[in-house]
Amino acid sequence: MKRFALLTALLVAITPSLFADEGMWLVGGIDKGLMSKMRSAGLKLSAEEIFSENGASLSDAVVALDFMGTGSFISPEGLLITNHHVAYADIHSISTMEHNWLEDGFLARERSQEIPITGRRAFVLKKMLDVTEEVHYVQDSAAKTSKPALSRRLSYIMEKRYADAFPGCEISFESMWRGEKYYIMVYAVYNDLRLVAAPPACIGAFGGNVDNWEWPQHKGDFAIYRVYTAPDGTPAEYSPDNVPLCPEKYLTINAGGLRGGDYTMVMGFPGRTNRYNSSYAVEYAALSANPITVKAQGEIMEIMNSHMERKPETRLKYADSYFSISNVQELREGEMKALRRYGVPEICRLRERELQAWIDAAPERKSRWGSLLPDMDAAYRKVHDAKLQVLRFREYAIRGCESMTIATKLDSHIRTAVGKGNTDPEALVAPLTAEEAHKLYPDMDLALEKERFVHSIVRMDSEIGRAELGAAFNEMADRFGGDVEAMARWAWDHSFFSSPEAFIGFTSTEHPLSAYHSDPAMALLKSVSIADFNRSVTDIEEKYGKLSHYDAEYTHALYEMGLDKGIPQYPDANSTLRLTFGHVCPLHPSDARFVAEKSTSKGILEKYDPTDYEFNVNDDFLALLKEGDWGRWGDRKDGKMYVNFLSDNDITGGNSGSPVMDAKGRLVGLAFDGNKESLCSDAYFHPDYCKTVSVDIRYVLWILEKYLKADHLLSEMKIINQ
């Protein structure tokens, strides 16, 4: 009994929901218990002021930017602020060597200069409906027919039903706790977004990949759009006749500054967490999968960076791609280390012992889940090696080189042209138009792409193993006496992939299917597909059970145990609107180390290095920093310019750009990063080490006024100093 009591105590000590600063809570599910915790932490608002379906509330000011980042309205005329790195791809897409808005920064001095961003959408949550009982009725009814309501069909049925009820809105059907609860999210969607302002990358991304996930940081990580609507105020596609949106709610900006211990609240659309993962899934990530990803992406980054350093035009072409790869690579590396450091697999095993004891304590639970954990353990072990082969193929073949992307798209065209399943070598493939060919073959640095192609082919051979790479790969390797690098270089040089001229020249004329298949690069890239590797996983799961089924049942069991024990629970993040609360706080990252909760402009000058792209700033900005005229944005007590700050809010990817609000719901910063010690937070939130890194709104306002000279934008905002 003493051992069981100790185990229970250990489990309670690590239960995330018991920490006031942890939890990505659904904004539509704020109950009295959560409100009590937030008020004790310092909140000065009511639940209705945070989220209301009957009137304007803070949630109406928070938007999902294509569910890849978050933004917030900051003026009655549709100004929307987010992170520079959320807007990075948009800024990159409109930049040229003549107008390099990424490197030079951008400001529309009048509305006619605001640049429309094709494809960018803003989603505002209008309603959140619990439809769990309705879903169960649909499932029960469908089970009596020949068309059971499986996941995709269930989504279609529910979204169609509510689309009819809310015309003009976008409907999203969401499962929580892997099917324990179901919700309908109703969104107003705005399609006309225009870029208004962005600092240059040397400000917005100062420190670059080197400082990513680190603390202290010194990034001016913000960008501003304006949202437009039709003249009648309804969402509309871009038109010069559109007018700025009048949002139901926009945020007041508090330029009074934050102090250590001040309440902070973040609202946003966090992407994915796996806090209900088993020890088997965590160990797979920490010990097996992440090391492969970190190594593979690190090698690709080295290749890309070597070419980007030599040619500015190459840097511009690959800036967005490199940024994306580096962000994921460092995340996975940090996640791997943190999972090990905090002993997360063992924490999960403690939870599983508690879960098994709870299951065994009741016959009905034992009947449903009695063998869940041992069966799950066996399935994960059996499928382990096959899953790693899938991952290696994805990292080295698919993500490793742009040529695979081109080959896959071209293969789709070929199948359409000759008919799916047609393998007749004499079947003729219709030519592509020049426009179609250009879309398939992007503007690339050919020396870089050749090196990526060769590297990918060599790594496929060494990491996956030739026996699994298909007949075409093996036959060609044999012709080169097993010298795979020589084979890869020859294949590139003799392929229509080797240049846009060769690609367009070949695909613009009619050829038989055999001509495409005999292209050496195409033959290597299509010798085997990821479907072949996935099939191996499927074969094992048919015998031992699907991991997705075990994961779902494991989550259901944990959820039911939480209900039974009266433990407050929040569902894993899934790009729905969430709230998290905490406080401004310092960090003790490791033994004998302490770092303060705020960074200042002094740190930019200390890091400044004109020979290092990541830590260089332009002359105009450098002069402003040295002058030190902070105006009305300097701290009231010590006169310093605070740049970034730490808080213990619980966030993840998708929260980038989320408004950080004070106890009265006023904007004080923008969340943009986590610290390196927090990088296992998708699986486990550590109450001492998991922090949010945010840009101080005063630094943003100073950049707008002093550097960008954007007084006309400041005049739109409601700014107080309290």
Q: What is the pLDDT of residues 241-294, one digit of tens each?
A: 999 999 999 999 999 999 999 999 999 999 999 999 999 999 999 889 999 999
- The beta-strand segments (E) located in 620-715 are 642-647, 659-661, 667-674, 692-696
List, for residues 186-218, the tens digit of each pLDDT value: 999 999 999 999 999 999 999 998 999 999 999
Residue 3, pLDDT > 60, answer: no
Report pLDDT for 21: 67
Q: What is the mean pLDDT of the chain?
A: 94
List, for residues 695-710, the tens digit of each pLDDT value: 999 999 999 999 999 9
List, for residues 535-581, the tens digit of each pLDDT value: 999 999 999 999 999 999 999 999 999 999 999 999 999 999 999 99
Phi, psi of 199 (to 5 degrees): -70, 165
Residue 588 among the catalytic residues: no
Q: Which of 656, 658, 678, 694 is catalytic?
A: 656
Structure-block tokens of residue 35: 């409100």
**How far from chain centre, in Å, is Cα 707?**
30
Q: Are 675 and 589 in contact (CB under 8 A)?
A: yes
Pairwise pLDDT comparison (11 vs 344), residue with the higher score: 344
Instruction: Report the C-alpha dihedral over residues 365, 368, 371, 375, rounded to 10 degrees.
Output: -140
Angle between helix axes 344-360 and 312-341 (nearest 10 degrees) is 50
Report pLDDT for 327: 85
Residue 85 among the catalytic residues: yes
Binned at pLDDT 50, 70 and 90, residue 102 comes out as very high
Phi, psi of 267 (to 5 degrees): -120, 135
Q: Which of 221, 262, 461, 572 is catalytic?
A: 221
Q: Which of 84, 85, 92, 455 is catalytic?
A: 85
693 residue type, one letter = V
Report pLDDT for 16: 39
Residue 673 among the catalytic residues: no
* DSSP one-letter string for 358-420: HHHTSHHHHHHHTTHHHHHHHHHHHHHHHHHHHHHHIIIIITT-HHHHHHHHHHHHHHHHH-T
